[in-house]
Chain A
Amino acid sequence: MKRFLYLRLALSGIYKNRKLYLPYILSTVGTIAVYYIIHFLSCSPFVINMAYGNNVGIALALGKIVIAVFSLIFLFYTNSFLTRRRYKEFGLYNILGMTKRNIFGIVFWETLIVSVTGLAAGIFVGIIFSKLAELGLMKLISAETNYIIFVSGKALYYTVLIYGALFFILMLKSFFVISRTNPIALMQSENVGEKPIKANWVLAFSGALILGGAYYMSVSIDNPLTALTLFFVAVIMVIIGTYLLFMSGSVALCKILQKNKSYYYKKNHFISVSSMTYRMKRNGAGLASICILSTMVLVMISSTGSLYFGKNNALKARYPRDTEISVVYHSIDKISDDNIAKIKSAYDRVFENHRFTPKNVLEYRYGEIAGLLKQNTVQPNPDYDTVNVNYSDVRSIYFISLADYNRVLGTDYTLEPGEAMIYTLRCKYDANLLNIGDLKLRIVKTLDRCINIGEANSLIMPSFFIVIPDFKVLTPLASITFGDMPVLFLRYHYGYDSDAEADETIAVYKDQSSALEDMLTQSEGARDDTSEYNDYGIYRGCIAEEKDDFNSLFGGMFFLGIILSIIFIIAAAVIIYYKQVSEGYEDAKRFEILQNVGMTKTDIRKTINSQILTVFFAPLILSGLHLGFAFPFLWKILQMFSLTNLRFIISVTLVAFAIFGVFYTIIYKLTARLYYSIVTVKE
C-alpha cells in the first residue's frame, strides 16, 4: 500500500510539473533514439558491405561515443533544472513528516517512470527511424537497399545498458543531494544563488585572450597538415574561451555599462542591463553550451555539405577528363615521340575493339618536380618535412613543352633557348629570372591560362607551370636523385570524355590500362610493385569508377553530419526551453514589482523583448563569428579533399548558417511565447 503511495506521489509530481517533465522526457527519447539509430547503422550489414563501408563504420562508431558522452552532460544539465523545482516539494514532504528514505522512494519511482518511458519510446522511435535513416543514407550514397525492418539486438542491448546506467547515476545524484541537505534548505533550493554579482575580470580577460589565440591560429596557419593537427587544439581553445566569455566576460561587460552613468540611468537601459548582469551570471554556462552546439552544427554541416555537394566539382578538378591515364618516366629519352606513338596505337586498338570514340581528347607531356623557393631559386628536394614546412614556400613545378602548349591552347608563342613562360596557381611570380636547381630560365611572359593539370588541382601547394622550348632543357634536373630516386618525373598524359554508359566506359578504361601494362612490360620489363622506384609508372583514374567511392565516403560523412546536427539542434532547443521556463518563474515576481513601482506594460514588454533577443541571439552571433574564424581551417582541410572552389564552399557555409538561423528562430519564437505566458503581467 505504502509503495503505491510513492508511486502515486511520483506520478502526480511528474504530472504537476509536466511543463518541465515533458521536454525532459522528450529529450531523453530524442537522444536515446539517435543513439540507437547510430549504433544500428554502425553494425548494419548494408553499411559495412558498401564501398568504403569501413570508413563510414569508423565514423559512426566515433559518433556513437560522442553521443553517449554528450547525453551524459546534457541530461545532467536538464535534470538539474528539473530537480531544483522538485527539491522544494521534497523539502515540504520532509517537513510534513516524511523521512528521507520515503523521499528516496518517490525519487526512485520517478526515475523509473521517466527512464522506462524514455527507453521504450526512444527505442521504438529508434527502430522506426533506423530504417528510414538507412534508406536515407543509402539514397545519399546511391546504394541499393530493401524495405525489411529488423531490430539489432546488439544496438538494443547497448542502448539499454548505457542509458539505464545514466538514469541510475542521475538518481544517485538526487539521493546524494537530498541526504546532504536539510529540509529548509531544500525548500529554498529554488532561490539559492541570489548573491550579488561581481565581475571576475581575470577570467573574462583570459577568456577573450584564449578565444583570440584560437582565432589567430586559424588565420595565421597556412600549412594544411598543421591545420589538421591544430584544428582540434583550436576547437578546445574556442570551447574554453566561449565558456569563460559567457560566464565572466558578459558580466564584466554589463559592469562596464553600469559604470557609464549616462548610459545606464536611461529608462530602456537601466532594467535591461541590471537584469542581464544577473541572467548572464546564471545562464552563462547554458548560453555558452548553446553557442558551442550551434558552432558544431554549423561547422559539421558546412564542411560535410561542401564535401557532399562539391564532390562532382572535386572529381572534375582532379580529373578534368572522364578517364585519364598517364605514364611516368624518369629519363628524358624515354618520353620520346616514338614511345608515345606506341602507347597511342595501343589505346587506339582498344577503342577500335570496343567501337568507342573518345571525346575531347586531351594529351600532353609534362615534367614535374617540387622544391622550396628561396628568392629566385627553387631547390629541388622532394623530401621536405611535410609537417613543419611552411607550405607557402613549397613549389610544385610543371614543365610543359611549347609545342604542347600551343597545340592544346591554340596559341602560337615562340621561345628562344633559355627563355620560358610562366603560369602560376595559388601564388605569384614577378621576377625575370628563375633558377630551378642548376637550370636557369629567363621568364619572358606571364601567362593567364594554362593546360588544366588535374594533379596540380588536387595538391594544396602553390604551383608554377613553366612553358619551355622542349624537354632537353630539363637535362640538368634529370640527373638529380634523392637516394636512388630521380626527383624529376616526366609524364605522358592522355585523357578523354565518354558518351557511353558507365559500364562501357569502365570496360574501355580497364582494357586500355591492361593493354598499356602489357605493352610497357614488354618494352621496359616488369615493374616491381614493392619497390619505391621503377623506371616507369602508370597513374590512372576514371570518374565513372571512382564516383561510387566518392559517393560513399562523402555521402556517409554528410549523413553523419546531418544526424549529429539534428541531435545538437534538439539539445540546444531543450536547453533554451529550460532556460525560458526557469527564468520565467523567477522573472514573474520581478516584473510584478516593476509594475508596482511605475513601469508601464509597454515598457515591460520592450524590456522583455530586448532581453530575450539578446540572450537568444548572442550565442548565434558568436557561433557565426566562430564559424567565420573556423573557415580558414576548414578551407585548408577541404583542399586536401580536392575541394578547391572557394566561392562554392563559402556559399555552402552561408546556406548552412541561414538554414540553422531559421531553425534557431523557430525555436526562439516557440519558447518566447512560453516565457510570456509565464510572466504574463498581471492586471
Chain B
Amino acid sequence: MSYLEVKNIKKVYTTRFGANRVEALRDVNFSIEKGEYVAVMGESGSGKTTLLNILAAILKPTSGSITLDGNELSHIKDSDLVEYRRDNLGFVFQDFNLLDTLSVKDNIYLPIVLAGKNPKNLAAKLVSLVSTLGISEILKKYPYEISGGQKQRVAIARALITDPKLILADEPTGSLDSKSSDDILRLFTEINKEGHTVLMVTHSVKAASCANRILFIKDGEVFHQIYRGDDTNEQLYGKISDTLTLLQTGGERR
C-alpha cells in the first residue's frame, strides 16, 4: 500500500435544485510514495483545484477513497477534520495567506499554538527552519514589511513547522516574480530532499519541471503522467511542454 492512495475519486457539483450537474472529477486514481515530489498540472477547469481541496479535506468527494499513511479520510468525523488537516497536512497557498496581525515568527508558530502545543519546545526547530529558508533576519517583522518571496518562505516555514505527512502547494509561485519563483522552487526541492512528501498544483511548466513526477489532469481524469527518471530539470521541461501541446491539440480532437 502506498503512502497516499487516491482511488476512484469522483466529484459532482449540483446546483441548488439539482437541475445542473457538473462533473468536476470523473474518476481520479493515483498513488504517491513517501518522500515523493509530485506536480499536478492541468488547464483551468480541469479539476485540479477541486482535487487539491479534496486532498486537503476541505471538500468531500462524491465517491471514492483517499488514504494517507493508512488513514482513510472518509472515516474521520467531520468535527475532527480540522485537526486532521492541522496535524497531517501543510499548506502553501498562491496568495500566502499570512495573517497581517501577526509577526513573521508568530505566523510560523500559528499552527502549533492552534494545536495547543507550547512553541517553546519547537524553538530549535524554528531556528533551523528559518535558516534553511533564509528568513532568520525578518522574524520580528510583519507581513506588511516583507516582499512576496519572503512571504512565501514564511508560509513554507509555517507549513513545515508541524512536520506534516504531506505538503500541499497551490500555485506557490503564482504571485511571484521569476527570481523569487526560482528561489521558492529550489526550496521545495530541498525540502523534498530532506524527506518531505510534496504535492504541488501548478500551471507553470517551470514549477512542474522541478518535481519527480508530473500528473496531468484533463476533464476530471488523470490523463497522463511523466516520471523524471534521470532527466535534468531542463529535459523534463521539454517533455512537459510536449505533453501540454499534445493535451491541448490532440485533446481537443478527441
What is the interface of chain A, defined by CB distance below 8 A to chain B?
A: 194-196, 261, 265-267, 270, 274-275, 277-278, 590, 593-601, 603
Tell whether, in the assembled complex, residue A600 and residue B101 are in contact, meaning their CB atoms are under 8 Å apart: no
Q: How many residues of B contact A (CB 8 A)?
A: 32
| Among candidates A195, A600, A601, residue contacting B144 with C-beta atoms closer than 8 Å | A195
| Among candidates A195, A267, A275, residue contacting B113 with C-beta atoms closer than 8 Å | A267
Tell whether, in the assembled complex, residue A265 and residue B82 are in contact, meaning their CB atoms are under 8 Å apart: no
**Nearest B residue (CB) for A604:** B82
Tell whether, in the assembled complex, residue A275 and residue B97 are in contact, meaning their CB atoms are under 8 Å apart: no
CB distance from A683 to the nearest CB of B (A): 9
Query: Using Cβ atoms and an 8 Å threshold, which residues of chain A touch B158?
Result: 597
With A194-B144, A261-B120, A265-B119 given, is the CB distance from A597 to B86 under 8 Å? yes
Binds A, one of B22-30, B102-110, B128-136, B244-252: B102-110
Looking at chain A's contact residues, is the secondary structure mostly helix, strand, loop, or mixed? helix
CB distance from A601 to the nearest CB of B (A): 7
Tell whether, in the assembled complex, residue B106 and residue A598 are in contact, meaning their CB atoms are under 8 Å apart: no
**Nearest A residue (CB) for B144:** A194
Tell whether, in the assembled complex, residue B82 and residue A590 are in contact, meaning their CB atoms are under 8 Å apart: no
- Name 12 interchain pairs, CB-CB below 8 A, sorted by A: A261-B120, A265-B113, A267-B116, A275-B101, A594-B99, A594-B114, A596-B91, A596-B93, A596-B97, A597-B97, A598-B86, A600-B79
With A194-B100, A274-B102 given, is the CB distance from A599 to B120 under 8 Å? no
Whole-angstrom distance between the alpha carbons of A294 and B64 in the complex? 59
CB distance from A509 to the nearest CB of B (A): 72
| Among candidates B82, B83, B98, B115, residue contacting A595 with C-beta atoms closer than 8 Å | B82
Tell whether, in the assembled complex, residue A603 and residue B106 are in contact, meaning their CB atoms are under 8 Å apart: no
B85 interface hit (Cβ, 8 Å): yes
With A274-B102, A590-B101 given, is the CB distance from A196 to B111 under 8 Å? no
CB distance from B111 to the nearest CB of A (A): 5
Tell whether, in the assembled complex, residue A265 and residue B109 are in contact, meaning their CB atoms are under 8 Å apart: yes
CB distance from A565 to the nearest CB of B (A): 36
Whole-angstrom distance between the alpha carbons of A265 and B86 in the complex? 17
Tell whether, in the assembled complex, residue B101 and residue A278 are in contact, meaning their CB atoms are under 8 Å apart: yes
Given contacts A596-B58, A599-B114, 7 further A-B pairs with CB under 8 A are A265-B118, A270-B114, A597-B114, A598-B87, A598-B111, A599-B82, A600-B82
**Nearest A residue (CB) for B106:** A274
**Nearest B residue (CB) for A601:** B82
| Among candidates A265, A270, A593, residue contacting B97 with C-beta atoms closer than 8 Å | A593
Whole-angstrom distance between the alpha carbons of A265 and B109 in the complex? 9
Query: Using Cβ atoms and an 8 Å threshold, which residues of chain A touch B125?
Result: none
Whole-angstrom distance between the alpha carbons of A270 and B107 in the complex? 10
Query: Using Cβ atoms and an 8 Å threshold, which residues of chain A touch B91?
Result: 596-597
Whole-angstrom distance between the alpha carbons of A10 and B115 in the complex? 49
CB distance from B38 to the nearest CB of A (A): 21
**Nearest A residue (CB) for B97:** A593
Whole-angstrom distance between the alpha carbons of A60 and B155 in the complex? 61
Tell whether, in the assembled complex, residue A270 and residue B99 are in contact, meaning their CB atoms are under 8 Å apart: no
Tell whether, in the assembled complex, residue B113 and residue A270 are in contact, meaning their CB atoms are under 8 Å apart: yes
**Nearest B residue (CB) for A595:** B82
Mask, B47-91, CB within 8 Å of A = 1, is 000000000001000000000000000000001001101110001
Whole-angstrom distance between the alpha carbons of A274 and B105 in the complex? 13
Whole-angstrom distance between the alpha carbons of A274 and B114 in the complex? 14
Whole-angstrom distance between the alpha carbons of A601 and B110 in the complex? 16
CB distance from A288 to the nearest CB of B (A): 21
With A265-B119, A600-B83 given, is the CB distance from A270 to B144 under 8 Å? no
Tell whether, in the assembled complex, residue A603 and residue B120 are in contact, meaning their CB atoms are under 8 Å apart: no
B33 interface hit (Cβ, 8 Å): no
**Nearest B residue (CB) for A594:** B99
B237 interface hit (Cβ, 8 Å): no
Whole-angstrom distance between the alpha carbons of A353 and B119 in the complex? 96
B141 interface hit (Cβ, 8 Å): yes
Whole-angstrom distance between the alpha carbons of A267 and B109 in the complex? 11
Query: Using Cβ atoms and an 8 Å threshold, which residues of chain B touch A275?
Result: 101
B3 interface hit (Cβ, 8 Å): no
Tell whether, in the assembled complex, residue B114 and residue A267 are in contact, meaning their CB atoms are under 8 Å apart: yes
**Nearest A residue (CB) for B110:** A597
B190 interface hit (Cβ, 8 Å): no
CB distance from A306 to the nearest CB of B (A): 45
Whole-angstrom distance between the alpha carbons of A323 and B118 in the complex? 78
Whole-angstrom distance between the alpha carbons of A296 and B109 in the complex? 44
Interface residues of B in 113-164 (CB under 8 A from A): 113-116, 118-120, 141-142, 144-145, 158
Mask, B29-46, CB within 8 Å of A = 1, is 000000000000000000
The 6 closest A-B pairs by CB, nearest first: A598-B86, A196-B142, A278-B101, A600-B82, A593-B97, A270-B113
CB distance from A521 to the nearest CB of B (A): 84
**Nearest A residue (CB) for B88:** A598
Tell whether, in the assembled complex, residue B101 and residue A597 are in contact, meaning their CB atoms are under 8 Å apart: no
**Nearest A residue (CB) for B119:** A265
CB distance from B101 to the nearest CB of A (A): 4
